[in-house]
A and B are shown apart, each in its own frame.
Chain A
Amino acid sequence: MTRLGGLGTASAVLLAIVAVTTLCAPLLAPYDPDFPDLLSALSGSTATHPLGADALGRDVLSRLMYGARTTLIGPVLIICVSTLAGTTLAITAAWAGGRVDAVISRLLDILFAVPGIVFALVTVAVLGPGIPGVVTGLAVAYTPYVARVVRSAALRERNLPYVAAAWVQGRSAPAICTRHLLPNLRPIIVAQSVSALGFAVIDVAAVSFLGLGVQPPTADWGLMVKSGLDSAQRGQPLEAIAAGVMIALVVAAVNVLGDRLGRRR
């Protein structure tokens, strides 16, 4: 922990708190996130609703606690899939070299040139609004983010003597890749996928904000910013600010962690 530095530790603690709150939301949340307390609608901060209630009178604090689930599960899923796919592609490219490498690299370059959210919107157009479409699109879009860095690291690693030594000893290519190459690349893979997680949180929340991701009435931070914008026009900006600040905090914490992990390698 100490190696993360003060800011790094603070970020890890913040993320841990968010994770625990999310898991224990039913125990911790003061209200049912869907319970409409119509008398308190757009109330602002009160003793009973510390962060106020939204336009339908639902408690903003409770919705923030529950909303972390949908806000964070999607991005985590995206990063898992894209890291797996990216690493496989990268190691295949680095190991095979030649034409296989050229084709994979070119493909990754093209994917990289198209912003993630455009992918997400296209898959949502095909699969319909909702988290499955968003996750599919962004998982594809984030694959080059991990793969490009891992490929160049794997190329460097592949030329090191220990790989040749394992080869001479008669190990098979998959065995060398999984037993030797992968463990050595792990720090780079971890650092790169953590920093991709920050972008994924932003993109998933943005798609939900557009109304194409998580669907109401599910509590979700991106959706809360959207409904908060309507509330703000009716004079009550608290919901939008609370959800927006939470997203920014989580992304900032993830970015700091990614940065610290990247620096240590």
Chain B
Amino acid sequence: MTFALKRLAGLVVVLLVASFLVYGLLYLVPGGPMAFLLGNRSGTPEQIAAIRAQYHLDDPFLVRYASWLRDALTGDLGSSLVYRQEVSALIGSRVTTTALLVVYATVLISLGGIALGLLAGLRGGRVESAVGVLTSVLLATPPFVVGVLLVIVFALGLGWFPVFGPGDGLGGRLYHLTLPAITLSLAGAAFLARITRASVQEELGREHVETARARGFAERHIVRRHVLRNAAIPVVTVTGLNVAGLIAGSVVVENIFALDGLGSLFVRAILQRDFAIVQAVVLVLVTAFVLINLLVDLCYSALDPRLSR
């Protein structure tokens, strides 16, 4: 329990530092925050005054940061200069798409990657080399290339999947998200397959597995009770790392498939120099990464009794 608390404290520190950096970024922009906030627009005096008021530009830096942080903690992330809308509302309406996409891809990665890795690790021989080649190819192909190729083959060529758009209802949405989720998951699945294979093979050679053999247990029982459980520890870590990568990858994938998620909002905000959105999205992403890391650490100690206290 103290372990979890300690981790939680570390998490808060990381988030504080991250939020400080994210807020401070505004001041690194050539020309200062004013030039940035106005972007390419030439502001009227009233607009400039409004921005100065909104961002409290006349206050000292730390005071401004503190009030920004206070607002952020209460869910007020400021308002978008382009959309003229609350940032939290903009994010809220898009976060479902991204979350759905990431969860879908995580499921695909976990099923596909672990299955392939187990197959290679337990069968060995030709199956193993085939999986090795497949994972190398998948790891070398960037997600956006995979996505574009999948669109060309399965959406434009064979017509099995819709090219763009969100779809209606949960079934429709999942159907529309299938190609994006596959795109997002392939590299992660390949990586996970490799880790699973290595981990399974390492465990198979362990002394305690020899003990289990000497005790006359069936191979199936040994794999289930002694190999998989022990091999799960690195697999969980990699899955966690993968999910962090997926959140980043969703930025790209949403843009290929024109999905209206956090990622496409982020990219558009950067292009339109809509800094309130950029700050908010980065903060949401960093929070997600840190939370995932925490989750992985907790899984870790649950899986390995040597780490829990």
User: Which A residues lie at the B interface, using CB under 8 A?
Assistant: 110, 113-118, 121-122, 124-127, 129, 198, 202, 205-206, 209-212, 222, 225, 228-229, 232-233, 237, 240-241, 244-245, 247-249, 251-252, 255-256
Contact between A113 and B293 (Cβ–Cβ < 8 Å)? yes
- The 10 sampled A-B contact pairs (Cβ below 8 Å) are A121-B251, A125-B25, A126-B29, A129-B270, A211-B271, A225-B145, A240-B152, A244-B148, A251-B141, A252-B140
Nearest to B246 among chain A residues (CB) is: A115
Q: How far is the CB of A233 from chain B (nearest CB, A)?
A: 7
Residues of B within 8 Å of A244, CB to CB, are 141-142, 145, 148-149
Chain A residue numbers with a CB within 8 Å of B65 are none
B193 at the interface (CB under 8 A from A): no
Residues of A close to B30: CB separation below 8 A: 127
A198 engages B140 (CB within 8 Å): yes
Interface presence of B143 (CB below 8 A) = yes
CA A205 – CA B144 in complex, angstroms? 9
CA distance A110 to B294 in the complex (A): 12
Residue of A nearest to B145 (CB): A244
Q: Does B151 contact A (CB under 8 A)?
A: yes
Q: How far does the Cβ of A103 sit from chain B's closest Cβ, in whole Å?
A: 12
A210 contacts B142, C-beta separation under 8 Å: no
> Nearest chain B CB to A132's CB is how many angstroms away?
11
B156 part of interface (Cβ distance < 8 Å): yes
Nearest B residue to A255, CB-CB: B140
Residues of B contacting A241 in the complex (Cβ-Cβ under 8 angstroms): 149, 152
Asked if B275 is at the interface (CB within 8 A of a chain A CB), the reply is yes
* Centre residue among B14, B151, B163, B270 by max chain A CB count within 10 A: B270
* Chain B min CB distance to A13 (Å): 17
Question: B142 near A126 (CB under 8 angstroms)?
Answer: no
Which residues of chain A come closer than 8 Å to B149, judged between CB atoms?
Answer: 240-241, 244
Asked if A114 meets B286 with Cβ closer than 8 Å, knowing A206-B252, A212-B267, A251-B141, the reply is yes
| Contact partners of A249 in chain B: CB under 8 A | 140
Given known A113-B244, A124-B270, contact A118–B144 (CB-CB < 8 A): no
Question: Is B248 among interface residues, defined by CB-CB distance under 8 A?
Answer: yes
Q: Is the CB of B289 within 8 A of A240?
A: no
Q: How far is the CA of A211 from the CA of B36 in the complex (A)?
A: 19
**Contact (Cβ within 8 A) A115 B244:** yes
B140 touches A122 (CB 8 A): no
Q: Is the CB of B267 within 8 A of A247?
A: no
Partner of B267, one of A210, A228, A245: A210
Q: Which residues of A contact B267 (CB under 8 A)?
A: 121, 210-212
In contact, A113 and B289 (Cβ under 8 angstroms): yes
CB distance from A55 to the nearest CB of B (A): 15
Determine if B87 is an interface residue (Cβ-Cβ < 8 Å). Answer: no
A122 to B282, CA, bound (A): 8
A202 vs B290: C-alpha distance when bound (angstroms) = 24
Least CB distance, A117 to chain B, in whole angstroms = 5
Given pairs A116-B248, A125-B25, A251-B142, 19 additional interface contacts (CB within 8 A): A113-B244, A118-B248, A121-B266, A122-B25, A122-B278, A125-B270, A126-B28, A127-B29, A198-B140, A202-B142, A206-B144, A209-B144, A210-B251, A212-B271, A240-B148, A241-B152, A247-B141, A248-B140, A248-B141
